[in-house]
Structure 1
Amino acid sequence: MAQNTEIQRAIKLCRTSFVLVLVFSFCVNLLALAMPLYLMQVYDTVLPSRSTDTLIMLTLIVVAALAVSAALDGIRRGMLGRIGVWLDDRLQIPVLAAAFQSGLRNDSAGGSQAWRDLATVRGFLGGSGIIPLLDAPWSPIFIGALFLVHPAVGWIGTVGAILLLSLALLNEMVTRSPMAQASAAQVKSQHRLDSMMRNAEAINAMGMLNGAARLLTTDRLAARDAQTSAARRSAIIMTLSRFLRGGIQVAMMGAMAWLVIGLEASPGAIFAAAILLSRALAPVEGAIGTWKSLTQARLAYRRMIKLLNGLPEGTPAMVLPRPEGSVTVDRAFFIPPGAERAILRGVSLTLLPGEVLGILGPSGAGKSTLGRLLAGTSMPSGGSVRLDGADMGVWLAAEGGRYFGYLPQDVELFDGTVRENISRLQDAEPEDVIAAAKLVGIHEMIMHLPKGYETNIGEGGVKLSGGQRQRVGLARAFFGEPALVVLDEPNASLDREGEEALCGAIEYMKAAGTTIIVIAHRLRIVNIADKLLVLRDGTMSVIGERSDILMRLNGGKSRTRARAEDVDKALPGSSGTVPVLAEEGGAA
């Protein structure tokens, strides 16, 4: 599994930087001893001797130490910020890949959350919340210095640090569950909101606003209640820690005063001990104050790890040359995630380069599922789908997606320009984009848009009609003259002119050697296929040359074009009530 390996590789490459940050943290904390030493020297040496030269020298030394400490602190903070940015750059591609893989498993919400989680981790590394954690390991330096002042105050500092650390651990124990619940509820609420925003038209049109608001409110209340519970518990711990911190300071000051009265310590030691105690306890108290951001970053990191577990491990594959387009499916079956029953079983077929396969069948027969397997957007649960003898996963790992064209049943366009959508978000040559647009007959339509190919079509292509979106999706599928094209209901939203352009494009790509799979209900598309495959209940009902299938549909009589009234009768187990094809004028 790639999971931790990718993150571990990234962290391993940052190891030197992390070590330097720890070294700088040690130096910053070590130099912090300069101030208490300065106070002790001023009160115990300079004032009794009234030596201005000594005072000036000590002051210069302390100022230099403070300047170096401030510089090192700034450097380590800058390094942490750069580490966060570097990790973000390094991991964004694997996280995106895992997010898209999650989307293919029908968990697009988890994928989008991973993008936010990566930003959370980067923000934590580059923020101030991590500083107390870096300073905490060096608290023993200041506690050791307290023992040098006097063993009694050393033990007071030790006990105080242990008590504050216990409160920090208690804070973790009592807030872990509600923070996890709040995080899960927030993620769920965000996912539901994203889903509802994508369906805003349906919600407004069918009066579902109140129901949508009720569901969102329920999720939000769950997150708020969990957050409130965690905040309330954390506030109690924080109050106790402040009270304890004050009590420790009082105990230390009282003990030092007692020692000064008994001539066991100098007056300057009181101020030095106060600073040392403050530096010893500050990281622990700071960790309690930043526990929320630490918990959120930890949960985000764990979600990222879980998502990246879904990526297969492997070294970067060699880029493969353009395939010829021969397709072989061998006893492929597919079981959806979380399901027990296969929705596609025992599919086997062979296509030569330049052949066109038409896939037919009633609703729910598994046509779109087979289309996704052939396009490589889903992997079979068993059996194999191969292109030029290589598994589809091998092609995708080798960046072979540029050789594929795919039009899903529900066309999704990106929030960008027409050019960006057709060119698959590549910085392509204008003539290549125009060629793809002309192939499906939308060049003139695009030129009538306000900015032509540079017109922004909005999220999902909302500024275009259904037919225009369909044809832009087709141009994208045909862009770059791919070796394999899978079209799922490509003419669902097309008028006669658009369908004629589509048929012409298929004929052109077929002549160029492109293998094309078309899932269709209209006869015009089916009638340009070389082979036909009929699916029913997830299994192959019949497959063969178009002329052979049409002869079977016609009761053994030779026929060159399909008739809608014959198709459903030829399917085993059909009642004749579920039409496979919708006939259109002049198609019979």
Structure 2
Amino acid sequence: MRSQTAHTPDLNRVLKAILPGLFVTGGFSLLINLLMLTGPLFMILVYDRALPSQSVPTLIGLSVVMIGLYSVFGLLSLVRSRLLVRLGNRVANRLQERVFTAQLLQTARDGGTGGHDATRDLNVMREFMGGPTPAVLFDAPWTPIYLACAYVLHPYLGYAGLAGVVFLVLVGVLNNSLTQRRAREVNTDQTRANRVMSDIARNSEVITAMKMGGDLYSRWSLLQNRAQSGQSRTRDLASSLSTLSRTVRMLLQSVVLGLGAYLAIGGDLSAGSIIAASVIVGRALAPAEQAISGWRHCVAAVAAGKRINSLLIDNPVRGTSIKLPPPKGDIELKNVYAAAPGQNQPMLKNVSLSLSAGEVLAVIGPSGSGKSTLARVVTGAWAAMRGHVRIDRADIAYWNALQLRETVGYLPQTVELFDGTVRENIARFQSDARDEDIVTAAIGANAHDLILGLPKSYDTALGEGGSALSGGEKQRIGLARALFGDPSVVILDEPNSNLDAAGMTALNMTIERLKSRGKTVVLIAHRQGALALADKVLVLDKGQVTAFGPRAEILNTYSQNQTRKAAGTRMKESSHV
């Protein structure tokens, strides 16, 4: 069970921070609703004072006052509307960095399969606060006052208005109970459809090459149609209830008008009060009717707020760690268990190893043995389930985030570049990056000449995912990005998978240079040729360490074991024959 302090998330604090603005909005709403009585009072005075006295000056004076009051009403309504827009912007602006960071952590924890887009939820809240529905909420408390005014004119009029308000409130409760659950189901289906479309956009080349478009369209269309069908049913229901509420309000206004005429015939009501009563009762019913019309937006905003609240609670702000001395690059893993995000089955089991600064570790093993998982754990991209990962004897979770950014460079197995220039990608989109550091990283990765050959050199736009480059070019620019900032620890996951002979030579030169400068390198590799520069070798099989030690010793043992396995397989095959 979460502690009470964990239930004080950023969303609540930001909403509390805008309370003064909400109080000011409430003050404007007070004046606006008082000024809304201008019309009924004007009608009463015209019909009951100006017309019986046949006084033109009285009529002119009342008209001037009425125009002035309505002008103030319009000005205050405009100010209130703009104030609500700015309060919505303030909430979004104060939370957007926090929500973005939390979404990034959650997506990493979920393995890139996050559900709702929290930044989109934040926009839903912002647009709701800047829309017409919050103004309705400020006007709703005035409904009893309008009913009281109708009651003062005559009790029957007050009772009629009260009956209409009760009916509309019941319609609103029914609307909420019928649409809220359906809205959640629609959001779930739409999220899944959006996720499929995102996957399609990311893998368009494979889809086109393998002619998978028709099948994927069927999958996306099924989810999209189901979401659209549910959305249509929800909107039809909301529209029906909204139409019902509007019809009841218009009917009740006419009923009040007829009732007022009946009372006027009996001498219980003045002629001016007949129209005034209809206007007042209509105004009393307006907030309930408008709330029903905007209920869908309100439900969406509340749901978005709950998702953001849950996201921020599940991903609290990490305390700022003390800045430690610049790391040398010693790495230690002790009894580490690790699993893919969202999974309980460990992919690494009781892994322990140690590296001194300047050593090169080659990690080998069959596919699915946990090599890439090890790389992600060492970088801190995935958290260990148990055990410790330490850099210079400090747990990786304790390192200051900015300092860790300068400490660890990472080249993933699948290199993903961002929509931007080569310069921006190498600099990791740091706005204060120096040109000399960018060029140094490119030279260190032996990618400088490659970049100079691009159409606009370092200012070449790469397109989404680096689509303007070949696989080998992306890998070398990704390596330059890993080397940016002169990190002490460099993790390379299959860095030679897309390289030709020249690229392999350049990679070996990069590793030699890193080693000579005392940098610690963890190299995940399948090709034996990439292991020539390794000081130590780690052999993984099914997530467990089967061998760890000096390169020559481990490779000799590993080669013998592989030979024995192959011989055993051949013997089994021949015996079956």
Normalised-by-shorter TM-score class: over 0.9
Counterpart in the other structure of 2:549: 544
The one of 383, 390, 400 equivalent to 1:386 is: 390
| 2:495 equivalent to 1:470 | no
Counterpart in the other structure of 2:219: 215
> Distance between the aligned counterparts of 2:152 and 2:198, measured in 1?
60
Counterpart in the other structure of 1:559: none
Counterpart in the other structure of 2:197: 193
Counterpart in the other structure of 2:89: 85
Q: Secondary structure at the match of 1:130?
A: helix
Counterpart in the other structure of 2:30: 26
State whether residues 361 and 522 of structure 2, in contact with CA within 8 Å, keep that contact through their aligned partners in structure 1: yes
The code of the aligned residue for 1:541 comes to T
Deviation at 1:395, TM superposition (A): 2.6
Question: 1:78-227, aligned counterparts within 5 Å?
Answer: 78-110=82-114, 113-227=117-231
Counterpart in the other structure of 1:581: none
Counterpart in the other structure of 2:340: 336
The code of the aligned residue for 1:230 comes to T
State whether residues 100 and 111 of structure 1, in contact with CA within 8 Å, keep that contact through their aligned partners in structure 2: no
The one of 271, 277, 283 equivalent to 2:275 is: 271
Q: Secondary structure at the match of 1:263?
A: coil
| 2:516 equivalent to 1:516 | no
* More displaced stretch, 358-367 vs 440-449: 440-449
Counterpart in the other structure of 1:455: 460
Counterpart in the other structure of 1:505: 510
> Distance between the aligned counterparts of 2:7 and 2:455, measured in 1?
46
Counterpart in the other structure of 2:573: none
Counterpart in the other structure of 1:533: 538
State whether residues 84 and 123 of structure 1, in contact with CA within 8 Å, keep that contact through their aligned partners in structure 2: yes
* More displaced stretch, 160-169 vs 102-111: 102-111
What runs of 5+ residues in structure 1 fail to find an aligned partner? Answer: 554-564, 579-588
- Change in CA separation of 1:57 and 1:110 when aligned onto 2, cut-off 3 Å: farther
> Distance between the aligned counterparts of 2:7 and 2:58, measured in 1?
60
Counterpart in the other structure of 1:434: 439
State whether residues 30 and 141 of structure 1, in contact with CA within 8 Å, keep that contact through their aligned partners in structure 2: no
State whether residues 100 and 108 of structure 1, in contact with CA within 8 Å, keep that contact through their aligned partners in structure 2: no
The code of the aligned residue for 2:333 comes to V
State whether residues 110 and 342 of structure 2, in contact with CA within 8 Å, keep that contact through their aligned partners in structure 1: no
Q: Secondary structure at the match of 1:395?
A: coil
> Distance between the aligned counterparts of 1:66 and 1:440, measured in 2?
71
State whether residues 4 and 308 of structure 1, in contact with CA within 8 Å, keep that contact through their aligned partners in structure 2: no
> Distance between the aligned counterparts of 1:500 and 1:196, measured in 2?
35
Q: Secondary structure at the match of 1:140?
A: helix
Q: Secondary structure at the match of 2:117?
A: helix
1:307-357, CA deviations, whole angstroms, 9 ceiling, x for partnerless residues?
Answer: 333303544445555433222211110133443421111111222222221
1:94-150, CA deviations, whole angstroms, 9 ceiling, x for partnerless residues?
Answer: 222222222223453426722222222212222223332332222222112112222
* More displaced stretch, 485-494 vs 69-78: 69-78
What runs of 5+ residues in structure 2 fail to find an aligned partner? Answer: 571-577
The one of 555, 562, 569 equivalent to 1:568 is: 562
State whether residues 568 and 576 of structure 1, in contact with CA within 8 Å, keep that contact through their aligned partners in structure 2: no
Deviation at 1:178, TM superposition (A): 2.1
> Distance between the aligned counterparts of 2:267 and 2:557, measured in 1?
113
- Change in CA separation of 1:213 and 1:551 when aligned onto 2, cut-off 3 Å: closer
- TM-score of the superposed pair, with normalisation by structure 2: 0.92
Query: What count of residue pairs does the alignment treat as equivalent?
Result: 565
> Distance between the aligned counterparts of 2:317 and 2:458, measured in 1?
40
State whether residues 330 and 520 of structure 2, in contact with CA within 8 Å, keep that contact through their aligned partners in structure 1: yes
Q: Secondary structure at the match of 2:114?
A: helix
> Distance between the aligned counterparts of 1:485 and 1:357, measured in 2?
10
State whether residues 439 and 501 of structure 1, in contact with CA within 8 Å, keep that contact through their aligned partners in structure 2: no
* More displaced stretch, 14-23 vs 461-470: 14-23
Counterpart in the other structure of 2:304: 300
> Distance between the aligned counterparts of 2:125 and 2:55, measured in 1?
53
Counterpart in the other structure of 2:258: 254
The code of the aligned residue for 1:162 comes to V
Q: Secondary structure at the match of 1:485?
A: strand
State whether residues 328 and 392 of structure 2, in contact with CA within 8 Å, keep that contact through their aligned partners in structure 1: yes
- Change in CA separation of 1:551 and 1:192 when aligned onto 2, cut-off 3 Å: closer
> Distance between the aligned counterparts of 2:568 and 2:123, measured in 1?
55
Deviation at 1:299, TM superposition (A): 2.7
> Distance between the aligned counterparts of 1:526 and 1:451, measured in 2?
35
Q: Secondary structure at the match of 1:533?
A: strand
> Distance between the aligned counterparts of 1:296 and 1:314, measured in 2?
29
The one of 13, 37, 58 equivalent to 2:62 is: 58
> Distance between the aligned counterparts of 1:324 and 1:52, measured in 2?
94
Counterpart in the other structure of 2:575: none
Deviation at 1:5, TM superposition (A): 0.8
The code of the aligned residue for 1:374 comes to V
> Distance between the aligned counterparts of 1:118 and 1:107, measured in 2?
22
> Distance between the aligned counterparts of 1:574 and 1:540, measured in 2?
21
Counterpart in the other structure of 1:233: 237
RMSD after superposition: 2.3
Q: Secondary structure at the match of 1:394?
A: coil
Deviation at 1:462, TM superposition (A): 0.9
Q: Secondary structure at the match of 1:487?
A: strand
Question: 1:294-443, aligned counterparts within 5 Å?
Answer: 294-318=298-322, 322-395=326-399, 397=401, 400-427=404-431, 428-443=433-448
Deviation at 1:566, TM superposition (A): 4.2
> Distance between the aligned counterparts of 1:176 and 1:505, measured in 2?
58
> Distance between the aligned counterparts of 1:474 and 1:576, measured in 2?
40
State whether residues 99 and 112 of structure 1, in contact with CA within 8 Å, keep that contact through their aligned partners in structure 2: no
- Change in CA separation of 1:575 and 1:195 when aligned onto 2, cut-off 3 Å: farther
The code of the aligned residue for 2:147 comes to I
1:382-439, CA deviations, whole angstroms, 9 ceiling, x for partnerless residues?
Answer: 1111222332223364563233211111111001111111000112111111111111
> Distance between the aligned counterparts of 2:60 and 2:187, measured in 1?
55
> Distance between the aligned counterparts of 1:70 and 1:286, measured in 2?
19
> Distance between the aligned counterparts of 1:64 and 1:324, measured in 2?
76
* More displaced stretch, 4-13 vs 153-162: 4-13
Counterpart in the other structure of 1:72: 76
> Distance between the aligned counterparts of 1:319 and 1:467, measured in 2?
37
